[in-house]
């Protein structure tokens, strides 16, 4: 029997796993609308799309000779987990700065990975918190890759993630009509939008954000000024409540058997809000991560607290 799928290092796992799977969501699809999900929780470190950005930022910094023995970053979740994982592989000490509402599960996973966890009083990662962490890094002579401003974040999605989606659909003789993705740093929606808007004139790109006053892990409102969102053409932005995001995750679990995270659930609900408007065609939903980090949110929902 031929032995395959074996690697010489955990650092080799990421690129070797690309492209991540795309799957048709049969229960969401109709005769006139084919709905595909890009399953980014197949990435190995944080089980999320953030592995791509962190990997590219670190590898580019290493190539430039910018890496030091200490790394500081502001994050509320998957970037921190990915950065902690890759820092361990590369032998770098990692300190993570978390906003106040960061889920307990995320904090525990970061500690398992050996990251130094600093809980701040910031309610969200806004420009003020980003600047605070940048100054802390400068004082300690540490590297701050700054996912919110680092173009290596955007680049990996423009050059790799978007290309994967394009080639996967081409392999079955299709192209997307509508792509729906959450807006966080805006790295992945920005890179995907740029690729598809350059290549196809008739592709609609729809962003998803939390409704006013709501918090959904992984996505943020435009008031936080996500850098790349304002540099690309996004056709529409849909607001989703936290409760709707949880219900979107539950819907996919019960209809398709996939445990997806809250930002993925928000994308599902956004699709439901626009599918009549955009009509027939091929829809691509970007699912950034899985549901295992959000057990607390699901528990609150089932107990009636959400």
Helices and strands, number each (H, E), in the chain = 11, 9
The mean pLDDT value for 46-61 works out to 98
Q: Is 4 exposed, middle or buried (0-12, 13-18, 19+ CB in 10 A)?
A: exposed
Is the pLDDT score of 180 beyond 80? yes
Is the pLDDT score of 298 beyond 70? yes
Task: Give 138's contacts (C-beta < 8 A, 6+ positions apart).
Answer: 144
Degrees, nearest 5: CA angle 231-236-242: 105
Q: Which helix (H) or strand (E) holds 266?
A: helix 262-278
Residue ranges per structural domain of the chain:
10-42+159-302, 50-140
Backbone angles phi, psi at 178, to 5 degrees: -140, 130
Beta-bridged to residue 94, according to DSSP, are: 71
Least confident of 123-132, 155-164, 175-184: 123-132
Is the pLDDT score of 2 beyond 80? no
Residues 150-162 pLDDT 10s: 999 999 999 999 9
Tell me the two tokens of residue 234. Answer: 């996004």
Q: How far apart are CA 268 and CA 287, in angstroms?
A: 9
Q: How far apart are CA 258 and CA 267, in angstroms?
A: 14
Backbone angles phi, psi at 212, to 5 degrees: -55, 130
Look at the block and give the residue holding tokens 């890009």: 38
162 vs 6, residue with greater confidence: 162
DSSP state of 143: B
Is the pLDDT score of 255 beyond 80? yes
Mean pLDDT of the chain: 96
Count Cβ atoms below 10 Å from residue 65 Cβ, excluding itself: 6
The domain defined by 50-140 carries CATH number 3.30.70.520: no
| Pick from 283, 213, 285: nearest CA to 248 | 285
Q: Does 50-140 match 10-42+159-302 at the fold level?
A: yes
Task: Give 136's contacts (C-beta < 8 A, 6+ positions apart).
Answer: 72, 97, 142, 144
DSSP state of 218: T
Q: How many percent of the chain have pLDDT more than 90? A: 93
Is the pLDDT score of 240 beyond 70? yes
Q: Which helix (H) or strand (E) holds 283?
A: strand 281-287
Residues 260-286 pLDDT 10s: 999 999 999 999 999 999 999 999 999
Q: How far apart are CA 132 and CA 105, in angstroms?
A: 24
pLDDT confidence of 214, banded at 50, 70, 90?
Answer: very high
Candidate CATH numbers 3.30.43.10, 3.40.50.1100, 3.40.640.10, 3.40.50.2300; the one for domain 10-42+159-302: 3.40.50.1100
Sheet of 204-210, strand order: 22-24, 33-39, 281-287, 178-182, 204-210, 236-240
Backbone angles phi, psi at 101, to 5 degrees: -80, 10
Q: How far apart are CA 107 and CA 143, in angstroms?
A: 21
Is the pLDDT score of 1 beyond 60? no
Q: How far apart are CA 86 and CA 141, in angstroms?
A: 20
Beta-bridged to residue 97, according to DSSP, are: 74, 118
Give pLDDT, residue 3.
63
């Amino acid at each position: 029997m031929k032995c395959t799928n074996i690697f010489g290092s955990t650092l080799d796992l990421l690129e070797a796993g690309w492209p991540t799977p795309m799957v048709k969501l049969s229960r969401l699809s109709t005769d006139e609308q084919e709905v595909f999900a890009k399953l980014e929780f197949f990435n190995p470190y944080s089980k999320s799309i953030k592995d791509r950005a962190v990997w590219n930022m670190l590898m580019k910094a290493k190539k430039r000779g910018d890496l030091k023995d200490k790394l500081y970053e502001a994050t509320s979740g998957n970037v921190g987990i990915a950065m902690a994982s890759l820092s361990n592989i590369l032998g770098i000490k990692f300190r993570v700065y978390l906003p106040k509402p960061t889920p307990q599960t995320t904090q525990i996973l970061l500690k398992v990975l050996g990251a130094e966890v600093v809980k701040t009083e910031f309610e969200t990662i806004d420009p003020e918190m980003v600047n605070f962490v940048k100054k802390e890094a400068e004082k300690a002579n540490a590297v701050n890759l700054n996912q919110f401003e680092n173009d290596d974040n955007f680049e990996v999605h423009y050059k790799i993630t978007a290309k994967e989606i394009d080639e996967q659909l081409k392999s079955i003789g299709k192209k997307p009509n509508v792509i729906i993705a959450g807006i966080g740093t805006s790295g992945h929606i920005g890179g995907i939008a740029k690729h598809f808007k350059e290549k196809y004139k008739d592709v609609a790109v729809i962003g998803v954000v939390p409704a006013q006053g709501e918090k959904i892990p992984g996505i943020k409102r435009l008031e936080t000024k996500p850098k790349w969102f304002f540099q690309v053409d996004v056709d529409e932005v849909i607001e989703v409540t936290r409760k709707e995001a949880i219900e979107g995750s539950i819907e996919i679990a019960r209809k398709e058997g996939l445990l997806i995270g809250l930002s993925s659930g928000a994308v599902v609900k956004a699709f439901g809000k626009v599918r009549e408007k955009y009509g027939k065609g091929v829809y691509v939903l970007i699912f950034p991560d899985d549901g295992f980090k959000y057990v607390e949110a699901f528990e609150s929902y089932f107990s009636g607290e959400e």
